[in-house]
Amino acid sequence: MDVKQAIQTRRSVKVYDPEYRMSEDEIRMLMEHAILSPTAFNIQHWRFVHVRDPALRAEIRNASWGQPQVTDASLLLVVCMDLKAWDKNPQRYSRNAPPHIQDHMVTGIRQYYTNNEQAQRDEGMRSASLAAMSIMLLAREMGYDSCPMDGFDFDVVARLIRLPQDHAICMMIAIGKKMQEPRPRGGQLDLDEVFFTDHF
């Protein structure tokens, strides 16, 4: 399957085979590719919680208004972001670059993020969302379906996964083998309504 097919056939699937299990090798491959996603200053703000414990999944399902994909999908990921990643040994984000580039990057990181909580959150959200899309498209190529989710109580899920204070949740993603076709697409807006040249 090529990228175009993955985009065209990726749908938000709600009903999964609860008996199907992805292999550990498949999950590792999925995540190794997810962390190749683009991110500002190469900070890699994303953090992924693979929820395996059935009891914990059941609690998260309760916090997700009973949505079955939370417990039935083979893989449940809570996609999080480290809001203070920019301030945690930022030299490591350019460790393969020449020293003068490393110094330039660290200076840029500190200038951009220091005392700018909105930028810290926005950039974390962008980075985590880009990684989430990479996950869903690769899952589709691998023959799986997925469902990005924000239909849950973020505070409850944060408590259940013991989210650190300086982190936030971006979304959850359920991945597995579908048992039911999704509904037809609701209808895309005309391209002319959303795509502009030079200005609105």
What does the pLDDT read at residue 195? Answer: 96
Residues 6+ apart with CB under 8 A from 23: none
What does the pLDDT read at residue 173? Answer: 98
- Do 81 and 125 form a contact (C-beta atoms < 8 A)? yes
Domains and CATH numbers, the chain: 3-194 (3.40.109.10)
Distance CA 97, CA 59 (A): 44
- Look at residues 138, 33, 28, 125 and name the one whose alpha carbon lies nearest to residue 80: 125
**Measured CA distances, 26 to 48, 140, 175 (Å):** 16, 12, 12
What does the pLDDT read at residue 198? Answer: 97
Reported pTM: 0.95
What does the pLDDT read at residue 182? Answer: 85
- Do 41 and 105 form a contact (C-beta atoms < 8 A)? yes
What does the pLDDT read at residue 138? Answer: 97
Distance CA 11, CA 145 (A): 7
Q: Mark the ranges of the chain whose per-residue pLDDT is less than 70.
A: none
- Left, alpha or beta for 39 (phi > 0: left; psi -120 to 50: alpha)? beta
**Measured CA distances, 170 to 14, 19, 32, 82, 124 (Å):** 19, 28, 19, 10, 8
